[in-house]
Amino acid sequence: MNIARGWGLHRVATRALPVALGLLVLGACASRGPTPDAACAASFAALHAATATTRDAQYHRLDDFPGLRSDRVLAALGEHARGPAARRLWLQRLAAHDREASAIERGNLPPARRHRLPAVAGLEHCRQQQIERLSRDPAAFRQAVRAAQVPSDYRRWARALGLYPLAKPFYRRAIAAWQREAAAQQAPADHADWLSYRPPTAPPVSVARLQEDALGLPQAEPTQLAALFARHAPEIRVAQRSAADRLGSPRFARSGERRFDAQDPVLYRHHGWSRLHGRWHLQLIYQFWFRERPPAGPGDIYAGVLDGLLWRVTLDADGDALLYDAIHPCGCWHALFLPADSPLQFRQPAGEEQRLARRLSLPGSQPATLWLRGGDHALLWVDARRASRPASRYRFADLDVLRQLAHPDGQRSLYDQRGLVPGSQRLERWLLWPSGVVSPGAMRQWGRHASAFIGKAHLDDPDLLGRYLYQPE
C-alpha cells in the first residue's frame, strides 16, 4: 500500500468514526426508548391536555417538575426544608397534592373520556422518580423550591389600566365605613327570629398535645383532627328575613343544573397552617353556604347567587383557640377575633389594608356562637351563648367534596378552572376591578381568596395573620 492511499483511507476512517459512534448511540437510545424523565413528562402532558376542561385550581403546578403541585404553605416551607428528612417530606407533600388534584380532574371528566388517560400506576411511578431525583440533586431541589412559589391572584395589568392609585382612596373610605358600622355592633338580643344551627352531637374526646413533623408543622391524627373539629365547631345563629337565610349545600340536579338544598345544612371542614413569629400553628377551617345574597333594593351591586362565611380557628399546641378570623367566600370583609385568654395582641401595620379586630369574652377552649344578620349574612357578633330554643343540626363534610360533586355525567366541581363559582359574579366587579382582584364579589375556592383591595393579601398565606398580631414579651 502506498503512503498516499494509506493516508486517504486513514482520513476516511477518522471522519467516519464519529458518525459511526453517533449511529451506535442513536441506535442504543432507540432500543431503550425515551429517557424516564421524558416519558414521564409526556405522560403528564397528555393527562393535563385531556383534563384541561376540568383543571382544579386549588394547587399550583410546578413548571418543569411534572407530578408536583404546591400551595402557599409548602411554598413558604421549601427554603427552610433542611436535611434529608425535611426535603423528602416536602417533596412527598407536593406529590400528594398532585395525586389528589389529578384524581379529581380525572374523575370530573365524562366516563367515556377517562379510559384514554395515562395509567394511574405509571403516573405514580413518575412521581416517586421525581422525589428520588430531587432528593439526590441539591441544585434541582433549589429549582423546585423556586418553582413552588404560588403566583399572585392579583392582575398587575388591571391595576395599571384601572389607575389603581386613584381608586385606593375610594376603597379605603368604603372599608373604613364598614368597619365603623361593625365596631358599633352590640350583643344582639336572643329572640324567636334567630334560627339556630348546632353541630352534630359527639362524645367528648380528650385531645393530646400536637406534635410537629420534620417540617415543623403540628400534625393531628385523623381521629384527633375530627375531635378538634367537633370541639371548636361553632353554633350559628341567623336572623330570618327570607328563605335565603337558611343554611344548606350546593349540588347538581339530575338535569345537570346547579341547585341549593336548604334541607341539608352542611358545615364543610378543611385544615391548614399559619406561621406566627416563626412558629407554625394548625388551623381549622369551617365554611357554610346560603342560597343567595338577595338584593336589598334596586341596583344592589352586592347581591347574587350563593353566599356564606368561612370561620377559621388557629390553635395552640394544646388544641385551644389562639385566635379566630372570618371572611366571606368572596374574599371580602376579613375580620380578626381574639379569645379572652389569648396572649396575642392586634396591631395595624402601616401600608396594609385595615382589619377589624375584636377581643372576645369567651376563652379559647370554648366553641363560639356566630350571630349573622339576615340578608347580607354579615357577622354581627361572636360570643358563647347557646340557643334556648330547639335548634337545627348541621352535618360535617370535607370541603374537598365541593371539588367533586355528584353529577349526571359522573361528578363535577363547584368551581371553574380559575377557582371561581360560575354564575356567582356580582355587579361590584365593575367598580372594584382596578384592585387587580379577579371578579371581585364572586364566590371562590380555597386557595384563591385574594383578601385585600388595598395592597395584596391572600387568605391562605401562612404569614398573613402575623402581619397583624404580635405577642408581647
| pLDDT tens-place string over residues 117-131 | 999 999 999 999 999
How does pLDDT run across 437-453, given as a tens digit for each residue? 999 999 999 999 999 99
Please tell me the predicted confidence (pLDDT) of residue 192: 79
How does pLDDT run across 174-229, given as a tens digit for each residue? 998 988 888 888 899 988 789 999 999 876 767 788 999 999 999 999 999 999 99
Give the integer Cα–Cα distance in Å for 441 and 145. 32
pLDDT at 27 over 80: no
Please tell me the predicted confidence (pLDDT) of residue 77: 98
pLDDT (mean) for 136-153: 97
Please tell me the predicted confidence (pLDDT) of residue 14: 37
Domain-wise residue ranges, the chain: 36-147, 157-470
Amino acid at 397: A
- Please provide residue 438's backbone torsions phi and psi, each rounded to the nearest 5 degrees: -75, 120
Question: Between the CA atoms of 414, 418, 422 and 425, what dihedral angle is there, to the nearest 10 degrees?
Answer: 130
Give the integer Cα–Cα distance in Å for 465 and 323. 10
Beta-carbon-side half-sphere exposure of residue 98 (alpha carbons within 13 Å): 28
Report in angstroms the alpha-carbon separations of 465 from 188, 250, 331, 345, 359.
28, 30, 15, 11, 15
Residue 184: Cβ within 10 Å count = 7
B/e letters for 418-442, b = 16+ CB within 10 Å, e = fewer, are ebbbeebbbebbebbbbbbbbbbbb
pLDDT at 34 over 80: no
Q: What is the DSSP string of 136-193?
A: H-HHHHHHHHHHTSPPPSB-HHHHHHTTHHHHHHHHHHHHHHHHHHHHT--PPPP-TT
Nine-digit cell string for 286 = 369551617
Give the integer Cα–Cα distance in Å for 376 and 150. 32
Nine-digit cell string for 219 = 400534625
Give the integer Cα–Cα distance in Å for 238 and 2. 106
Which of 11-15, 327-331, 406-410 has the largest mean confidence? 327-331
Give the integer Cα–Cα distance in Å for 309 and 327. 6
| C-alpha 457: how far from chain center | 13
Per DSSP bridges, beta strands 335-338 and 356-359 are parallel
How does pLDDT run across 58-90, given as a tens digit for each residue? 999 999 999 999 999 999 999 999 899 999 999
pLDDT at 22 over 60: no
Please tell me the predicted confidence (pLDDT) of residue 21: 31
- Please choose, from the candidates 435, 415, 458, the residue with its C-alpha nearest in 3D space to the C-alpha of residue 76: 458
How does pLDDT run across 91-100, given as a tens digit for each residue? 999 999 999 9
B/e letters for 288-305, b = 16+ CB within 10 Å, e = fewer, are bbbbbbbeeeeebebbbb
Amino acid at 8: G
How does pLDDT run across 398-437, given as a tens digit for each residue? 999 999 999 998 999 999 999 999 999 999 999 999 999 9
pLDDT (mean) for 303-324: 97
How does pLDDT run across 231-267, given as a tens digit for each residue? 999 999 999 999 999 999 999 999 999 999 999 999 9
Please report, rounded to a whole number, the percentage of residues in the chain having pLDDT higher than 70: 92
Residues 6+ apart with CB under 8 A from 176: 354
pLDDT at 9 over 80: no
Eight-state DSSP code of residue 251: E
Across the chain, mean pLDDT equals 90
Nine-digit cell string for 469 = 398580631
What pLDDT band is residue 36 in, cutting at 50, 70 and 90?
A: low
Element housing 390 (H / E): none
Nine-digit cell string for 391 = 335548634
Q: What is the DSSP string of 346-378?
A: E---TTSPP-EEEE-SS-TTS--EEEE-TTT--
Amino acid at 334: H
- Please choose, from the candidates 415, 449, 469, the residue with its C-alpha nearest in 3D space to the C-alpha of residue 334: 449
Please tell me the predicted confidence (pLDDT) of residue 150: 98
Residue 465: Cβ within 10 Å count = 22
Beta-carbon-side half-sphere exposure of residue 163 (alpha carbons within 13 Å): 5
Please tell me the predicted confidence (pLDDT) of residue 191: 84
B/e letters for 104-127, b = 16+ CB within 10 Å, e = fewer, are bbbbbbeeeeeeebbeeeebebbb
